[in-house]
Structures are given as structure tokens and as C-alpha cells.
Amino acid sequence: MIPIEKDAIDGPSALEILARVTARMGEPDRAIAALQKLLPVPYAGGAGNIPLTPALLRLDPMFDPRFQKLCEEKQP
């Protein structure tokens, strides 16, 4: 995976995929860590070219209630 710091174009999309895969695989701590890094970064979007935002995170059934705290936190 290319980090955001080295690739501002594709890095966030890869991080979103990592968050989705780890959430699906039952590793919420890794998914939350990825999302905490991803949500404050503006990017073109991963799945469907739509960037993941706190509002979309609330609606996405992949992310269960454990992820709702990320939606409530104010992003810098």
C-alpha cells in the first residue's frame, strides 16, 4: 500500500480499501485506525469515486455501530 504522504492521489483510496477490508474481516481496531487517518483528508474517492465522509460512514452498512464515534468527532 502506498501511504498518503507519498501518493496524495491513490494513497487515500488504498487506505479506504484497507479500512473496508479490515472492517469486513472483523478487525475493527485496524479499520478505525485507517479511518481516523482517512476522514480528515480530501480525496477523489475510492469505491465508486465517492470519498468516504462521516455522513457516508453513518449510512454504510459495512461499518457497524463501533464506527459511529468517528462520525461524531469533529475533524480538523
> Bigger pLDDT: 64 or 32?
32
pTM: 0.80
Per-domain boundaries in the chain:
11-72
How many CB atoms are closer than 10 A to CB 31? Answer: 23
Residue-level pLDDT at 47: 59
Q: What is the 3-state secondary structure (H, E, C) of 40-70?
A: CCCCCCCHHHCCCCHHHHHHCCCCCHHHHHH
- Tell me: the pLDDT tens digits for 3-51? 788 888 788 888 888 999 999 999 999 999 999 998 888 888 765 678 8
